[in-house]
Amino acid sequence: MTNPFKNIWEKILDEEDLKNEIIPAIGITFEGPLMHRSMIEKIGFPEKKFFIYGDDTEYFIRAWKADYEIAVIRDARFDRKLNFANPLENINWKFYYVVRNIVAIDVLQGSAAVRFIRPFGYFIKWMKHTKNIKEFGILLKGFIHGYFYRSEN
């Protein structure tokens, strides 16, 4: 959250990571984590307005900043019932929340450089995927609401 030119979701586990039984991480999904109650007492609950996208990312960034160790257990298993859908493939009402939440994560958790540079880079990237004025409007509204988002935590 300090490099404004680096996407926070760039690093995915690779073969080298999988050689370890316990893999250190900063961000993980809400699908299967175990958390100690003391962590929840210290950093609070997830952003309730992030219910569609990014709630897990923002939450575990807060946990990491509070010096909690986060890890993926290589041999843990679970069945994901929903496939991941690329939000750029179908720009609709859900895309608003994707944009708002990604921008808000940068504003809430990023360094000054991240807060002032990365959201605009995302905006330009996403703008290239809009096909009409309605899609651009969804993008713009999500961007503005994300940039001026205020946490309830």
Q: Report the percent of the chain where pLDDT is more than 90.
A: 63
Which residues 6+ apart lie within 8 Å of 113 measured at CB?
2, 3, 4
pLDDT computed for residue 20 by the predictor: 94
pLDDT computed for residue 10 by the predictor: 67
pTM of the model: 0.85
Three-class secondary structure of residue 71 per DSSP? strand
Counting the structural domains of the chain, the total is 1
Per the domain annotation, does 12 fall within a domain?
no
Per the domain annotation, does 5 fall within a domain?
no
Per the domain annotation, does 153 fall within a domain?
no
Q: pLDDT tens digit string along 36-90?
A: 999 999 999 999 999 888 999 999 999 999 999 999 898 988 777 767 677 788 8
Per the domain annotation, does 7 fall within a domain?
no
Instruction: Please give the residue range of the domain that contains residue 60.
Output: 17-147
Q: How far apart are CA 5 and CA 104, in angstroms?
A: 16
Which residues 6+ apart lie within 8 Å of 37 measured at CB?
none
Per the domain annotation, does 83 fall within a domain?
yes
Average pLDDT, the chain: 90
Per the domain annotation, does 152 fall within a domain?
no
